[in-house]
Amino acid sequence: MAFDLFTQFATDETAELQGTWRAIGNDIELLIARSGNRNYARLLNMLIESNRQTLDLRNEVADAKSDEIMVEVLAETVLLGWRGPVMFKGKDLPYSKANAKEVLKMREFRLMVARLSDDMAAYRAKLEVEQGNG
């Protein structure tokens, strides 16, 4: 059987930028864009360059700034929404970028979002059969 590179590796750039809904349990879904997408790369590069002096310290201050940058990048370009009964500290939590930044400060949640955004299968391109080319 032939190995089709398109089937294995082609992705849908629109889905990578606009996200796909991913279930995480308890009737909650997150709208997750793919990490490394165009918007992600631009913002990450800009924030790294504008914070280069702090990041180059390679100490606890640099680590804190690195975490702050990742929260910002994920909230702006990867975690694009949620739906379902989302709560935080016992209170309803509607989606907003500010709320996304707040919950992304939790390391384990941030790592889960990052894992979901790295899952290529969620962004695979669908093979479209060309009309009249048989």
In this structure, how many other beta carbons lie within 10 angstroms of the beta carbon of residue 75? 22
Tokens at 29, concatenated: 């879904």
In 3-state terms, what secondary structure has residue 83?
A: strand
- Residue 127's pLDDT is 63
How many H-runs (helices) and E-runs (strands) does the chain carry?
A: 7, 5
pLDDT lower than 50: segments of the chain: 129-134
The confidence score (pLDDT) of residue 133 equals 39
CA 45 to chain centre: 16
SS3 call for 49: helix
